[in-house]
Amino acid sequence: MTHPSPSAEIPAKQGAIIELIAYNPNDYEKIDANHIDEIISQLKPNCVNWINIDGLYDTSVIEKIQQHFNLHTLLIDDVLNDQRPKYEEYDDYLFFSMKMLYSLNSGQIEYERISFVLGDNYLITFQEKEGDLFNAFRERIRLDQGRVRKRKADYLLYRLIDIVIDNYYNILENIGDQIEEIEDSLNENQSSHTFARIQRLKKELIYLAKAVFPLRDALSGLLKEKAGFLDEENDRFFADVYDHVIHLIDSLDTYKDLTASLMDIHFNTQNNQLNKVIKVLTIISTIFIPLTFIVGVYGMNFKHMPEIDWVYGYPVVWTIMIVMSVSMLVYFRYKNWF
């Protein structure tokens, strides 16, 4: 499932793209196949086998994976249906799912569900569509950089989860930059576009919270109930990932508060501008009230008005109105009313 607002920059394909990376300290092999049977036949018992499936629309692929690894029906349901991040343990494997985030060029965020099935010497990753965050890591495996080729499948699981969570930081950093940009422009630009940007940020933070908060519980379950699937020497790595998620949650709360403050600043600035407009209109109206009274009096058509036949009546009335208007403006200015 993807976030509903952004869409088309990461296209989904009908069908599945299947990849196998098998490795140990001495050997490495990468196989791309169109049929799952080719992948299953190439699994190597003396290697860590990373099977990656992009696209969940081809049910025949999922069924053959289920049959070969004896995966539970409920696990397959979790893979195929949108679920909050979760952890579940079975007799021969464990299941872990989370959201993978992409930052699009438009500044919006794309969400993709990714599921992991960890066994003794294999890790299966199910992704909704082609493309992910792991290309650089695949290259590190090929070049035997770092410790991944020397560790088991549980370390591979940790690295993939860590990569996804590290990208959460990139997303949050992007949101932080947008918050600063909006804050700097609030006093200059009070258009509806600014309000729409704040609303969009607020919505993105809500979706992020839905991805991160359950992830904390899933990782907590993974650490507490690992039941032999995780080597003790890797506990510290998963604990570090858990700490990152806690830090992400704190950062999310901070950004939510900042976004709420932006909304308050926006509304306060709007109200201040409205008050300024109302003040100007009130001053104009106040000045014209006595002028309207004078004009109204001398606009009456009574025959015996004493000033009607006065030769200086017209310029005197104008002089009185101008002096009155200027005096009121000077007085208002003296009171700092504008």
**What's the pLDDT tens digit per position in 324-335?**
888 888 888 887
- Strand 94-103 and strand 86-89: the pairing is antiparallel
Neighbours of 207 (CB within 10 A): 16
Position 190 scores a pLDDT of 60
What percentage of residues in the chain have a pLDDT greater than 70?
Answer: 91
- Residues 202/263, Cβ–Cβ less than 8 Å: yes
Q: Is the pTM of this model over 0.85?
A: no
Ordered by start, the domain boundaries in the chain are 17-269, 272-334
Least confident of 1-5, 65-69, 99-103, 262-266: 1-5
Q: How confident is the model at residue 8 (pLDDT cuts 50, 70, 90)?
A: very low
Q: What is the chain's mean pLDDT, rounded?
A: 83
Q: Which CATH class is domain 272-334?
A: mainly alpha
User: How does pLDDT run across 93-146, given as a tens digit for each residue?
Assistant: 999 999 888 766 566 678 888 999 999 899 999 998 887 889 999 999 999 898
**87 contacts 47 by C-beta, under 8 angstroms:** no
Statement: residue 3 has pLDDT above 80: no
Q: Give me the pLDDT at residue 15, please.
A: 63
pLDDT digits (tens, 9 = 90+) for 299-314: 777 777 777 777 778 8
Question: Is the pLDDT higher at 12 or at 170?
Answer: 170
Fold classification of 17-269 is: Beta Polymerase; domain 2 (3.30.460)
Q: Using 50, 70 and 90 to split pLDDT, how confident is the model at 242?
A: very high
- What is residue 226's predicted lDDT score, i.e. its pLDDT? 63
Asked if the model's pLDDT at residue 80 lies above 80, the reply is yes
pLDDT for res 298:
77
The string over 225-263, giving b where at least 16 C-beta atoms fall within 10 Å of a residue's C-beta and e elsewhere, is ebeebbeeebeebbeebbebbeebbebbeebbebbeebe
pLDDT at site 11: 39
The answer to whether 17-269 and 272-334 have equal CATH topology is: no
Per-residue pLDDT tens digits for 178-197: 888 787 777 666 666 777 77
DSSP 7-26: -TTS---SS-EEEEEEE-SS
Q: What's the whole-number mean pLDDT along residues 231-255? A: 89
HEC sequence for 199-255: HHHHHHHHHHHHHHHHHHHHHHHHHHCCCCCCCHHHHHHHHHHHHHHHHHHHHHHHH
Mean pLDDT on 223-228: 72
